[in-house]
Structure 1
Amino acid sequence: MKKVIIIGGGLGGLASAVTLAHAGFQVHLYEQNAHLGGKLMPVSLGSYTFDFGPNTITMPHVFKGIIEQTGERAEDYFELLPLRSHTRNYFQDGSTIDFSSDPEKMAAEIARSSAADAANYPKFLKEISRLYTLSERYFFPATFQSWRDYLSPSLGRALLQARPAETLDHFFKRYFSNPNMLQALGRYATYIGSSPYKAPATFAMIAYLELVEGVYYTKGGNVRIAEAFAAVARKNGAVLQTGTAVERILVDNGGVSGVELAGGEKVVADLVILNGDLLSAYPELVDEKLRPSFPDAKAARFEPSISAFVITAGLIGHAPELKHHNVFFSGDYRQEFADLFAHQRYSDEPTVYISNSSFTDPSVSPDGSNLFILVNAPALTKDGQLQIDPEQYKERIYDFLESYGVEIRSRLAVEKVFTPSFIKETFGSWRGALYGPSSHRKADAFLRPANASPDIANLYFISGSTHPGGGSPIVTMGGQNLAKRIIKQHK
């Protein structure tokens, strides 16, 4: 059976490892960090534990499916807890909107500010369900290995039906007039690292995931998902090595022949999967002359998605006023996104997201609330510079939260700040961007870089920067789809 080397142990790489190992391939995965799961990284500060990566879990069937394809039971590895009323949205006028997957509760919430908006909610659910069905049928299952794969007539028809020319903001205004509701829905654009005023309305299907299928949390922390994937991959024969960086992808006669590790050791392989940010990892690992279809200049032309400024804060005692998911919105959302993208600067008044998983699961933080505080941040400048002083910006965030009545400083037990520079250095993210390219241009939204190199045989790609895109379930699905295609081609 053929030997596959996977570079990077994010969720996409782990999903590929499980699928390929179960099919009988020899799988060797190399991860430069000490943990597996990529941005789904555990953070511990004393007795306080945090999920650095996705705090909101959707599409539970995707994660379960990676385990269950091997004949194992997903519930033997992790327990997904549904959060019916999952996100409390706070606004400058003092009002709140609780997001829920219960349509009656949602309609009641919306009706508190607008009866007309509440009456439109069923029509809104019907349309976002249609958008999701199109994606699920035509977009999610596909892997793109060359430009010919993009020429499918059925795919083309599906894209035309998915509102590609309309922005998310414009789409939401078809159904709602309350500016607070529009702001809360517009935040879904940040799930793909983009602006609601530029991203295509197609991505309204993200709202379907949270408002129809629902939001979940993994008992013990969402990192349990990555730990489960790793355990099942090893059980099926995959070799997973952490703390092992790959220095170079070896190419011979137009095809991959293996990799060279940081210590100089060369490891042969029949196929290589690069599970890393394509815009940074591909240029770093392969000489430019060997990849004429993807020169350095092409990578530099992309507009980066947003990054994140993160504070992990452990409080003395629990904060019952904070739900599991909380969003404190800025007063001028349009200006905030103009700051992030047009001006490449930090907003003076940013929207702040707080995950407080101890609200649902006290075991992960027995001594007090474990607040994962996230603010959208611009990518690093082209020369790699961070545009703010982290300590000063942290204090600005605390000041903003105090304006909402959330006091952090006086209750702090432990804290740690993470900037886009950390994201770039730790995860190899291009300019510290969370999702590779933004989805503002139609080509970047719908025609993301393909899953195979057109220049080097048997070299494959999976990450948030390639098809089908970013987000933990989407990357996981993409890793499994790529593995299935490899099995079909090579087994």
Structure 2
Amino acid sequence: MKKVAIIGAGLGGLSAAITLAHAGFDVDVYEKNTHIGGKLMPVQLKTYGFDFGPNTITMPHVFRQVIEQTGRRADDYFTLIPLKHHTKNVFPDGTEFIVSRDKDKMIEQLETLDPIGAKNYYTFLKELTRLYELSETHFFPKTFRSWTDYLSPSLGYALTQVRPLESMDHFFKRYFQHPAVLQSFGRYATYIGSSPYQAPATFAMIAYLELIQGVYTVKGGTVCIARAFHSVAKELGVKFHLQTPIDQVAIEMKQIHTLFSHGQSVWSGDDVIMNADLLKAYPELIDEVDRPSFTDKQVEEMEPSISAFVILAGLSTRRKSQFHHTVYYSSDYKKEFQQIFKKCEMAEDPTIYICNSSVTDRERSPDGDNLFILVNAPALGKDGSASYEAEAYKEIIYDRLKEKGVDIRKDLVVERVIPPAEIAEKFGAYRGALYGLSSHRKKDAFLRPRNTSKDIHNLYFVGGSTHPGGGSPMVTLSGMNVANLLIEKGN
């Protein structure tokens, strides 16, 4: 029986563990934190329950597949709740645009806001479907081990067909004219930690997930997906070691043969899967002399994705808004991204996202709204510094929300601020970035770090900083993809 160690218990590590254990591998998972699920972290403040993230669930079939490949029923482990009209977008001039999988609802709004967009809507959906199907066929299910994988004729052809040279913003302007509609769709770039003015139009297929497949939440919180994976993994014999950071490895003949935690040997075996931020964990764990193909200088030259400034606020009241997701946009979206990426500073007038999950699941917060408030933030400086003071910026966010009719302070019962520095420390995120690399440069968008180490022959990578990319479904797929590679190798 082959022995595999997985460093990190995020969704990628968990999906890999289940896939391998079901195939008969001996699997140990090592996690430095006290919880399972990585950024799917539950937070309880008095009677108010929060998910740190992600709050939006798409591609539900991916999460189901992890469990159902073992012959179990996913519905026995978690309950997905579809959100038909899921996101209300609010603009400074009072314009509102509700994003929904209901095509009639979308066209009804577009006929008022953007008549050209209404006429183009079905053509738009058709193109989104084409982009998604190409990605699903040629990118999502693959592991990239060497340059020959990138140079296959089928992949090369697919790359030319997914609008790699066009920006997302330019793509959306092919179909829509109203600034509010364009901003609403442009926000999908932030799902991959990037700017709509720089990220390739390829990633417009994210809109397909929300507009056609639909948006979901999970009964009891999105963290229940991670808990479900944890349960299934344990049923299959996976051994979990929490509060056990892997801080040293022993390498011989270009292979890891022993893992250490706090100076003690904790594992020896055949293969190691790193479900941690590749840009941070790989350089920290492996001496540069042992990874000549991934040098410290190369890491420093990579552009990290956006981070997040998060406030968890429990209120004594219920807001009138009945939307699970609400976004309050800035007056100058382009300037906001320039401040974040070019100047590496917090936006003066930020776009503010709020998830109020108790709208859908009252048990999460029985005494009032549980607001997960997120503002895009620049990655930390190379020295780990931020250009702002967290408490002061929190007050700016509260001020902006009050201007928009959302007065947090008067009903506030409990709060917790989670700035990028805490994200960096808690999740081992490179410079606090949520998605590893940004997708601004074509190389980083389409040629993300591959799933195997070129220098350490039994080391594999899963998670948002490697292929196929960031976001919980992609991370989950990366775990299954790498596990299947090891299963194929083992046979």
Confirm whether residue 64 of structure 1 aligns to residue 64 of structure 2.
yes
Residue of structure 1 in register with 2:422 after alignment: 422
Partner SS, residue 82 of structure 1: strand
What is the CA-CA distance between 1:320 and the residue it aligns to? 2.6
- Summarize the alignment of residues 400-419 of structure 1 with structure 2, pairs less than 5 Å apart: 400-419=400-419
How far apart, in 2, do the equivalents of 1:476 and 1:266 lie? 26
Deviations 1:188-215 (A, max 9, x none): 0000000000000000000000011000
Residue of structure 2 in register with 1:224 after alignment: 224
Amino acid at match of 1:38: G
How far apart, in 1, do the equivalents of 2:116 and 2:297 lie? 50
What is the CA-CA distance between 1:323 and the residue it aligns to? 1.4
What is the CA-CA distance between 1:170 and the residue it aligns to? 0.2
What is the CA-CA distance between 1:321 and the residue it aligns to? 2.0
- Summarize the alignment of residues 112-191 of structure 1 with structure 2, pairs less than 5 Å apart: 112-191=112-191
How far apart, in 2, do the equivalents of 1:441 and 1:17 lie? 32
Amino acid at match of 2:269: A
Partner SS, residue 327 of structure 2: strand
| Conserved? CA contact 1:23–1:487, under 8 Å | yes
| Conserved? CA contact 1:117–1:176, under 8 Å | yes
How far apart, in 1, do the equivalents of 2:305 and 2:360 lie? 31
Amino acid at match of 1:147: W
Deviations 1:160-192 (A, max 9, x none): 000000000000000000000000100000000
What is the CA-CA distance between 1:95 and the residue it aligns to? 1.0
How far apart, in 2, do the equivalents of 1:322 and 1:190 lie? 24
Partner SS, residue 276 of structure 2: coil
Partner SS, residue 317 of structure 1: coil
What is the CA-CA distance between 1:264 and the residue it aligns to? 2.1
Amino acid at match of 2:245: A
Residue of structure 2 in register with 1:12 after alignment: 12
Residue of structure 2 in register with 1:76 after alignment: 76
How far apart, in 2, do the equivalents of 1:176 and 1:83 lie? 24
Amino acid at match of 1:268: S
Deviations 1:422-473 (A, max 9, x none): 0100000000000111000000000000000111111000110100000000
Residue of structure 2 in register with 1:340 after alignment: 340
Residue of structure 2 in register with 1:261 after alignment: 261
What is the CA-CA distance between 1:288 and the residue it aligns to? 0.8
| Conserved? CA contact 2:171–2:201, under 8 Å | yes
What is the CA-CA distance between 1:250 and the residue it aligns to? 2.2
Residue of structure 2 in register with 1:100 after alignment: 100
Amino acid at match of 2:58: T
How far apart, in 2, do the equivalents of 1:333 and 1:307 lie? 17
Amino acid at match of 2:115: A
How far apart, in 2, do the equivalents of 1:269 and 1:41 lie? 30
Q: So what's the TM-score if we normalise by structure 2?
A: 0.99
| Conserved? CA contact 2:429–2:436, under 8 Å | yes
Confirm whether residue 302 of structure 1 aligns to residue 298 of structure 2.
no
Deviations 1:107-137 (A, max 9, x none): 1111121222111111110001100000000
Residue of structure 2 in register with 1:21 after alignment: 21
Q: CA RMSD for the aligned pairs?
A: 0.8
Deviations 1:277-302 (A, max 9, x none): 00000001111101110011111110
What is the CA-CA distance between 1:249 and the residue it aligns to? 2.6
Residue of structure 2 in register with 1:320 after alignment: 320
Residue of structure 1 in register with 2:248 after alignment: 248
What is the CA-CA distance between 1:477 and the residue it aligns to? 0.8
Partner SS, residue 410 of structure 1: helix
Deviations 1:257-279 (A, max 9, x none): 13111242242010000000000
| Conserved? CA contact 1:320–1:359, under 8 Å | no
Q: Give the % identical residues.
A: 58
Residue of structure 2 in register with 1:444 after alignment: 444
Residue segments in structure 1 that go unaligned for 5+ positions in a row: none
Partner SS, residue 216 of structure 1: strand
How far apart, in 1, do the equivalents of 2:125 and 2:246 lie? 46
Which sits farther off after the overlay, 252-261 or 11-20? Answer: 252-261
Partner SS, residue 243 of structure 2: coil
How far apart, in 1, do the equivalents of 2:200 and 2:13 lie? 28
Partner SS, residue 456 of structure 1: coil
| Conserved? CA contact 1:259–1:267, under 8 Å | yes
Confirm whether residue 376 of structure 1 aligns to residue 367 of structure 2.
no
| Conserved? CA contact 1:57–1:215, under 8 Å | yes
Residue of structure 2 in register with 1:364 after alignment: 364
| Conserved? CA contact 2:258–2:265, under 8 Å | no
What is the CA-CA distance between 1:396 and the residue it aligns to? 0.5
How far apart, in 2, do the equivalents of 1:150 and 1:120 lie? 34
Amino acid at match of 1:115: P
Deviations 1:225-284 (A, max 9, x none): 000001001100100111111012321111121311124224201000000000000001
Residue segments in structure 2 that go unaligned for 5+ positions in a row: none
Confirm whether residue 205 of structure 1 aligns to residue 223 of structure 2.
no
